[in-house]
Chain A
Amino acid sequence: MKRLLVLLTVLALLLPLSLFAQGAKEATTVAELGPDGRFTTTRKITVEVFDRGVDDGRTPAENNVWTAWIKAEVLKKYNIDVTFVPVPRWTETDAINNLLAAGDAPDVCYTYSYPTVQQYAAMGGVTDLAPYVEQYKHLLPNLFNLLEEINVYNNLDPKTGTLWALEARQFYPHRNSVFVREDWLKKLGLAAPTTHAEFEAMLKAFKDNAQLLLGADASKMIPMSISVDIGWMGDPLTTSFVPEGLSDELLWALGYDDRRIMWPGYKDGIRLLNKWYNLGYIWKDFPLYPFGDQTYHDNLVRAGFVGAFMHNWDYPYRAGGIDIQTTLAQTGGSFIAVDPFPNDAGLYRKYLPSTTGDRKIFFPNTNKEPLASLLYLEWLSTLENRKYLQIGPVGVTHKVLDSGAIQIIPAAVPEWIQNSADNIDYTMVINGKDMGSAQLNGLSLGLGYSGVDPRYLEESYRIEQNDGRIVKNFTVGTLEAQVGLDNVLRDKRNDFLVRAVVAPTAQFDAVYDAGWNDYLATGGRAIIRERLARYEEIFGVKIQLPAGYVL
Chain B
Amino acid sequence: MRIRSRTQRIGDWVIVLLCVFVIFICLLPMVNILARSLSSPEALMRNEVLLWPKGLNFDAYQYVLKDKTYTWSMTWTAILTAIGMTLSLVMTTICAYPLIYPQLKGRRIINTFIIFTMYFNAGTIPMYLLLKDLKMLNKPIVLIVPYCLSVFNMIIMKSFFYSIPDSLRESAQIDGAGPVLVLVRIYLPLSTPVIATLALFYAVGRWNGFQDALMFMNVRKYYPIQLLLYNLINAISSIEVAIQEGFSTPGLNETIKTASVMFATVPILLVYPFLQRYFITGATLGAIKE
- Interface assignment of B119: CB less than 8 Å from any CB of chain A: no
On whether the beta carbons of B124 and A321 are closer than 8 Å, the reply is: no
Choice from B47, B128, B214, B249 contacting A321 with Cβ under 8 Å: B249
Nearest to A56 among chain B residues (CB) is B251
Which among B46, B125, B214, B230 is the interface contact of A299 at CB below 8 angstroms?
Answer: B46
- Which B residues between 198 and 243 are near A, CB-CB below 8 angstroms? 214-215, 218, 220, 227-228, 230-232, 234-243
Q: Which of A42-85 contact B (CB under 8 A)?
A: 52-56, 60
Q: A54 and B46 in contact (CB under 8 A), knowing A321-B250, A431-B245?
A: no
Q: Which chain B residues border A102 with CB–CB below 8 Å?
A: 128-129, 132
A322 adjacent to chain B (CB < 8 Å): yes
* Residue A342 is within 8 A (CB to CB) of chain B in the complex: no
From A55, A91, A295, A422, B67 is in contact (CB under 8 Å) with: A55
Once A91-B214, A299-B44, A321-B252 are accepted as A-B contacts, the answer to whether A54 and B246 lie under 8 Å apart by CB is no
**A112 to B241 CA separation, bound complex (whole angstroms):** 10
Indicate if the CB atoms of B245 and A52 lie closer than 8 Å: no
Check if A101 is an interface residue, CB within 8 A of chain B. Answer: yes
Whether the pair A291, B240 counts as a contact (CB closer than 8 A) is yes
A302 within 8 A of B: yes
A149 within 8 A of B: no
A303 x B220 contact (CB < 8 A): no
Mask of A281-300 contacts with B, CB within 8 angstroms, 1/0: 00000000001111110011
Q: Which residues of B contact A296 (CB under 8 A)?
A: 47
Q: Are A303 and B129 in contact (CB under 8 A)?
A: no
Q: Which residue of A lies closest to B240 (CB)?
A: A292
Q: Chain B residues near A56 (CB, 8 Å)?
A: 67, 251-252
A294 to B233, CA, bound (A): 12
Of the residues A91, A101, A318, A327, contact of B247 by C-beta under 8 Å? A318
Q: Is there contact, CB below 8 Å, between A312 and B214?
A: no
Bound-state CA distance A102–B215 (Å) is 13
Q: Is the CB of B236 within 8 A of A303?
A: no
Closest to A85 in B: B218
A88 interface residue (CB < 8 Å to B): yes
Nearest to A327 among chain B residues (CB) is B45
| Residue in chain B with minimal CB distance to A301 | B45
Residues 501-528 of A, flagged 1 when their CB comes within 8 A of B and 0 if not, give: 0000000000000000000000000000
Does A97 lie within 8 Å of B246, measured CB to CB?
A: no
Residue of A nearest to B250 (CB): A320
Select one of B235, B240, B242, B253 contacting A53, CB under 8 A. Answer: B235
Contact of B246 (CB < 8 Å), options: A60, A90, A94, A432: A432
Q: How far is the CA of A327 from the CA of B254 in the complex (A)?
A: 15
Question: Contacting B237 at CB < 8 Å: which of A91, A104, A112, A294?
Answer: A294
B159 part of interface (Cβ distance < 8 Å): no
Contact call A321/B248, Cβ cutoff below 8 A:
yes
Chain A residue contacts of B254, Cβ below 8 A: 295, 299
- For residue A98, CB closer than 8 A to chain B, the reply is yes
Q: Are B248 and A86 in contact (CB under 8 A)?
A: no
Taking CB atoms, residues of chain B closer than 8 Å to A322 are 242, 248
From B220, B244, B248, A318 is in contact (CB under 8 Å) with: B248
Residues in B neighbouring A98, C-beta threshold 8 A: 124-125, 128, 215
Q: How far is the CA of A431 from the CA of B243 in the complex (A)?
A: 12
**Is B93 located at the chain interface by the 8 A CB criterion?**
no
In the complex, the answer to whether A101 meets B45 with C-beta atoms within 8 Å is no
**Nearest CB of B to A230, in Å:** 14
In the bound complex, do residue A293 and residue B237 qualify as a contact, i.e. CB atoms below 8 Å apart? yes
Tell whether, in the assembled complex, residue B241 and residue A89 are in contact, meaning their CB atoms are under 8 Å apart.
Answer: yes
Q: Hey, which chain B residues are within 8 Å of A291, CB to CB?
A: 239-240
Contact partner, B244, options A91, A112, A319, Cβ 8 Å: A112
CB distance from A293 to the nearest CB of B (A): 4
Partner of A94 from the list B215, B238, B239 (CB cut-off 8 Å) is B215
* A90 in contact with B234 (CB, 8 Å): yes
Bound Cα distance A314, B238 (Å): 17
Pick the most buried of A94, A98, A314, A422: most chain B CB atoms within 10 A of its CB. A98
A421 interface hit (Cβ, 8 Å): yes
Q: Which A residues touch B250, using CB under 8 A?
A: 319-321, 421
When A54-B231, A104-B132 are in contact, do A424 and B67 touch as well, CB less than 8 Å? no
Asked if B69 is at the interface (CB within 8 A of a chain A CB), the reply is yes
List 25 A–B pairs whose Cβ atoms lie within 8 Å, in order of A's numbering: A52-B235, A53-B228, A53-B231, A54-B235, A55-B67, A60-B220, A89-B234, A91-B215, A97-B124, A97-B125, A102-B132, A292-B240, A293-B237, A295-B237, A296-B47, A299-B47, A299-B254, A320-B248, A321-B249, A321-B251, A321-B253, A322-B248, A421-B246, A422-B247, A432-B246
> What 11 additional pairs, Cβ within 8 angstroms, besides A294-B237, A295-B237, A421-B246?
A53-B232, A54-B252, A56-B251, A88-B214, A98-B128, A101-B129, A291-B240, A312-B246, A320-B248, A321-B252, A321-B253
Residues of B within 8 A of A (CB): 44-47, 67, 69, 124-125, 128-129, 132, 214-215, 218, 220, 227-228, 230-232, 234-254
The 9 closest A-B pairs by CB, nearest first: A320-B250, A53-B231, A421-B247, A293-B237, A294-B239, A90-B234, A303-B46, A54-B235, A98-B128
